[in-house]
């Protein structure tokens, strides 16, 4: 459990939830998220993921931003019920929507509450790195702009390294593909990080493709409702049968290489857990993306996939909680 230090209004329908220091909030990476356990009279609880808007390099307390959605039970409960002193259960920071280096120049595209991880990334690059940031930030109208004062202060502090372009649908309509493409074309060597409503993300992806940019250079943050309960007691991973066929496998995790014999018919996450290797995962249902890795060698298949697109799969990206080995060729997976 973590204690809420304060709840700060951001807009009429969004709040920042600021947490007190806690051992469950270890050092996190910019752009990562927390999973919160929200009480429910119907199901006992629901789990929802919210990006951290704070930067691990700023000295500020960890905070997430929650925006109400009309039919969103969790977002409305959090906005209506949390106050200073309240306690809530969380899972440790997770996610791969984070730059590999703070020294690189980046393009950030945010729509609505998608500013949350973009803000964390921008602050981290500006405060702890040498990179520059160009941010395109789309909202319904001026009143719905989250963190407007914070962004303005950052622009004033880093005028040579931060450029923010606000786009208001009430005045300009939906973001025009030509506008997005011009911004992309103006920075041909920068990678992009994109978060926002699905139509906004689709528009940015289309503009990126139209500009001839590589799929591997654009990073999309997509949240889906978790079908399982990551707060439930961990079910032990099943052990493979003693006579099961196996495939020699190398797993690179946090710079360390583990050599294993991976049994056929068992997912990679389940097998790694069964042999005592702690691996990133949360839902084990292919919903959250915590277990994403890249398969660089061998033949594998996913038994389920609710997250990755065809281009991701073609690039070798895999959900290791859904991944099984096929054939007999050695496999290599890199987290």
Cα distance between residue 172 and residue 62, in whole Å: 34
Give residue limits of the domains in the chain.
Answer: 2-94, 106-220, 246-334
pLDDT at 29: 94
pTM value is 0.84
Give 205-212's long-range contacts (Cβ < 8 A, gap of 24+): 206/177, 207/177, 207/180, 207/181, 208/184, 210/177, 210/181, 211/181, 211/184, 211/185
Is a pLDDT exceeding 80 seen at residue 24? Answer: no
Ramachandran bin of 5, using left for φ above 0, alpha for ψ from -120 to 50, beta for the remaining angles: alpha
What are the pLDDT digits (tens) for 201-230?
A: 999 999 999 999 998 899 999 766 666 677
**CATH ID of 246-334, from 1.10.1740.10, 3.40.50.1370, 3.10.20.30, 3.30.565.10:** 3.10.20.30
How many residues are listed for the chain in this entry? 335
Looking at per-residue pLDDT, the higher value among 25 and 264 belongs to: 264
Q: Alpha-carbon dihedral of residues 84, 85, 90, 92, nearest 10 degrees? A: 80
Is a pLDDT exceeding 80 seen at residue 237? Answer: no
Please give the CATH topology (third level) of the domain spanning 2-94: Elongation Factor Tu (Ef-tu); domain 3 (2.40.30)
What are the pLDDT digits (tens) for 315-328?
A: 899 999 999 999 89
Mean pLDDT, range 102-108, rounded to an integer: 97
Confidence of residue 240 (pLDDT cuts 50, 70, 90): low
Cα distance between residue 70 and residue 103, in whole Å: 39
Please give the structure tokens belonging to residue 198: 């699905």
What are the pLDDT digits (tens) for 44-94?
A: 888 999 999 999 999 999 999 999 998 889 999 999 999 999 999 998 898
Cα distance between residue 121 and residue 98, in whole Å: 7
Please give the structure tokens belonging to residue 334: 């890199």
CATH architecture of 106-220: 3-Layer(aba) Sandwich (3.40)
User: Among the ranges 151-160, 243-252, 276-285, which has the highest mean pLDDT value?
Assistant: 151-160
């Amino acid at each position: 459990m973590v204690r809420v230090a304060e709840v700060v209004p951001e807009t009429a329908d969004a709040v920042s939830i600021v947490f007190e220091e806690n051992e469950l909030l270890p050092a996190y990476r910019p752009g990562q998220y927390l999973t919160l356990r929200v009480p429910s009279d119907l199901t006992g609880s629901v789990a929802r993921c919210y990006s951290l808007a704070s930067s691990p390099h700023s000295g500020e307390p960890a905070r997430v931003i929650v925006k109400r959605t009309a039919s969103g039970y969790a977002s409305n409960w959090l906005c209506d019920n949390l106050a200073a002193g309240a306690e809530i259960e969380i899972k440790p920071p997770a996610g791969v929507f984070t730059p590999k280096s703070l020294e690189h120049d980046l393009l950030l595209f945010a729509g609505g509450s998608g500013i949350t991880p973009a803000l964390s990334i921008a602050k981290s690059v500006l405060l702890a790195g040498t990179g520059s940031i160009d941010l395109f930030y789309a909202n319904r109208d001026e009143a719905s702009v989250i963190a407007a004062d914070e962004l303005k202060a950052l622009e004033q502090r880093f005028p040579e390294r931060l450029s923010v372009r606000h786009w208001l649908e009430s005045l300009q309509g939906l973001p025009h593909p030509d506008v997005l493409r011009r911004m992309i074309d103006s920075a041909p060597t920068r990678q992009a990080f994109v978060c926002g409503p699905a139509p906004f993300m689709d528009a940015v992806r289309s503009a990126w493709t139209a500009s001839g940019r590589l799929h591997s250079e654009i990073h999309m943050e997509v949240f889906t409702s978790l079908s399982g309960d990551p707060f439930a007691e961990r079910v032990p991973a099943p052990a493979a049968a003693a006579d099961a066929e196996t495939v020699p496998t190398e797993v690179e995790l946090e710079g360390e290489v583990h050599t294993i014999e991976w049994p056929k018919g068992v997912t990679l996450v389940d097998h790694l857990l069964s042999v005592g290797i702690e691996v990133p995962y949360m839902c084990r249902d292919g919903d959250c993306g915590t277990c994403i890795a890249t398969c660089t060698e061998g033949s594998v298949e996913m038994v389920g996939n609710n997250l990755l697109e065809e281009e991701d799969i073609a690039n070798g990206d895999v959900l290791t909680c859904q991944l099984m080995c096929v054939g007999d060729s050695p496999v290599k997976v890199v987290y």
